[in-house]
Structure 1
Amino acid sequence: MKKIIVLALSISLMFVMSACGQKAATPATAPAPATTGSAPTAAAPAASGAQQVKLVASNYKFDQAEYKVKAGQDVTVTLDNKEGMHGVAIDAFKVKLDGSNKTATFKADKPGTYDIVCSVPCGSGHMTMKSKLIVE
């Protein structure tokens, strides 16, 4: 009986540990995210007036160490999972993104530096998967 329990736990652990290494499936009908062509740490203004921040997540990291936006403006954050299944949490602005909710808009009304963390347990590097949102 102990061998069965150990085997089941080992298999479960393997699935959890390999979650970051698998590419996220995207529906064939999903539109491709727009690129802004802006500098890597600057958010580009969108047609609606909101600044756009695209967070690209891959194995245990975001594509940028920091993302800068202007204070007092609306910001639209979009999550793009390139490798693995990840989520995003920016607690100060109550932003929570995951596989089913990949976009959020909020008012960047508080200048400062805020943590961006992966909110979906994605494997051994999950605890170090962090970036910064700088509201200037």
Structure 2
Amino acid sequence: MKKLIVLAMAVCLVFAISACGKKEEAKAPATTTGAAAGAGSAASQDVKLVASNFKFDQAEYKVKKGQDIKISLENKEGMHGVEIKGLSVKLDGNTKTATFKADKEGTYDIICSIPCGQGHMTMKSKLIVES
């Protein structure tokens, strides 16, 4: 019985170590392409989410209302997915980009959609759509 408990603990430890790992990365700002921000609905914006263990590279990403948004996901550490609540945007291991129109102002939660270890539940950011 003791061997089984030790084996189970070892497996849990290996999983935790493989999902963890803390390496600080330089924060890259969200990038904008196309027409200048505020130029109307003809403008488009590229937003790059960089995911590492239990965090995104930015606490919030800002976009302009009425623009087409191309969002992409880069996994620096671990395997992560993205869901933006309220906008029907989902990126996973196979889908790395999505395009949508930001037509409603507000703040939307960005969460990791692939269980990635003990800090998964706190892996959150915000997408702010402003006028």
Q: TM class, shorter-chain normalised? A: 0.7 to 0.9
Per-residue deviation, residues 19-57 of structure 1 (Å, max 9, x unmatched): 2449xxxxxxxxxxxxxxxx825x402499531000001
Match of 1:84 among 66, 78, 82: 78
Q: State the match for 1:45 in structure 2.
A: 33
Q: State the match for 2:19 in structure 1.
A: 19
| Distance in 2 separating the partners of 1:2 and 1:97 | 42
| Gapped regions of structure 1 (runs ≥ 5) | 23-38
Give the Å deviation of 1:106. Answer: 0.7
Q: State the match for 2:51 in structure 1.
A: 57
Contact 2:66-2:102 at 8 Å conserved across structures: yes
Per-residue deviation, residues 55-74 of structure 1 (Å, max 9, x unmatched): 00112111001000000111
CA RMSD of aligned residues (A): 2.7
Give the Å deviation of 1:16. Answer: 3.9
2:107 pairs with 1:113: yes
| Distance in 1 separating the partners of 2:90 and 2:11 | 26
| Distance in 2 separating the partners of 1:12 and 1:93 | 37
Q: Percent identity?
A: 65
Give the Å deviation of 1:124. Answer: 1.1
Contact 1:65-1:131 at 8 Å conserved across structures: yes
Match of 1:74 among 68, 71, 76: 68
Matched residue pairs, number?
Answer: 119
Contact 1:57-1:80 at 8 Å conserved across structures: yes
Give the Å deviation of 1:92. Answer: 1.1
